[in-house]
Amino acid sequence: MRPLKLTLEGFVGVRDGMKRESVTLDLEALPDGLIALTGPNGAGKTTLMDNLHPYPIMPSRASKLSVDAFSYWDHICGTSALKELEWEHDGIRYRSSFTFRKPGKTGKAEYYLAYRDVDGTWRPVSLPDGTVSDGKAESYNRCVEAINGSLETFFTSVFSAQNRRPLASYGAG
């Protein structure tokens, strides 16, 4: 999984750390090699890093690696927010879109996963068992895990988040 482009709108870390309502990080426009995010504490670096993957969790903010141990509602501000991540896996370009709306006391979240067809059209991901990414968290999670593996495996072996146990600390057995 290779992140390509991230857009965040309505996130507390972006508003408080960067003093703006939205940010887009285009990783494709950057040169090959090691990339560093620099800035003082509280500048929004962790918010960016926590969202450079397709899973519905900000791993450094979760009490454990489980979507049940995390709520985006604690990290968004205002009545709406958006996370849009374009990423690539096995030569296929995907787009994860999370939308959050809270016009009143209760909020609504939608999670979509699309892939870019050979003609450039974005289409919903569908699995051989008939599961289609339809905006529901359950179908989104099933689609992402079919492509990238389980959340636990991904964050243990592929994505090293701040304050998380590194792969090297696990013993054999």
This prediction has a pTM of 0.87
Please, are residues 101 and 108 in contact by the beta-carbon 8 Å criterion? yes
CA distances from 161 to 14, 101, 117, 152 (A): 18, 27, 31, 12
DSSP 8-state assignment for residue 90: T
CATH of the domain at 50: 3.40.50.300
Helix (H, G, I), strand (E, B) or coil at 50: coil
What's residue 159's pLDDT?
A: 62
Place of tokens 């529901």: 136
Tens place of pLDDT per residue across the chain (173 aa)? 999 999 999 999 999 999 999 999 999 998 888 788 889 999 999 999 999 999 998 888 877 777 677 888 889 998 999 999 999 999 999 999 999 998 888 889 999 999 999 999 999 999 999 999 999 999 999 999 999 999 888 877 776 554 545 544 444 44
The number of distinct structural domains making up the chain is 1
d(CA 57, CA 62) in angstroms, rounded, equals 7
Left if phi > 0, otherwise alpha if psi is -120 to 50, otherwise beta: which for 15? alpha
Residue range(s) defining the domain that contains residue 73: 2-169
Q: How many residues does the chain have?
A: 173
**C-alpha–C-alpha distance, residues 44 and 81, integer Å:** 16
DSSP 59: T
Tokens of 64: 């454990």
Residue 168 identity (one-letter amino acid): A
Contact partners, residue 152, CB within 8 Å, separation at least 6: 65
Please enumerate in sequence order all residues whose Cβ is within 8 A of that of 101, keeping only pairs 6 or more positions apart, or say none.
79, 80, 107, 108, 109
**What confidence score (pLDDT) does residue 171 get?**
47
